[in-house]
Structure 1
């Protein structure tokens, strides 16, 4: 998917002179990372609006419970992404 370009900075990095900084897919990011970021921000805004609208119609106890549930889901997803990233990074380093 992402091909590494051979250029002067990479040749210097191999010689131990400079760190390699120019790669087609630095740190595994796709070339369409801006588009992906935009889609995530749009989804985040829609979710924020939806959750705030739902919270306006709930009691205080229900809002707190909803907040706890959303936080737990977020922590579980963050752990999943972190573990998956670690596995992919370990596989790449082999």
Structure 2
């Protein structure tokens, strides 16, 4: 999904992140809440229309979740090869548990 140059840039920026892993977990929860708010507003859920958010906003918030998660993995010294292995393992498990 992303090229090597962008991957390297994301990792470099993540390595500069000053937040502790505990603070990053809290930031992840904050971003998840913002993504949920954006999705609710985009779908005109009761009490959320005033926020004027759409699916583009939802995608941006989900991207924030992805970036915070990558930063946390970097802080936990997860190397790209290890992440690839973990992703393959989790996708396999995910597929095995889906109802088709």
TM-score under structure 2 length normalisation: 0.29
| Higher-Rg member (1/2) | 1
Higher relative contact order (CA 8 A, sep 6+): 2
TM-score under structure 1 length normalisation: 0.30
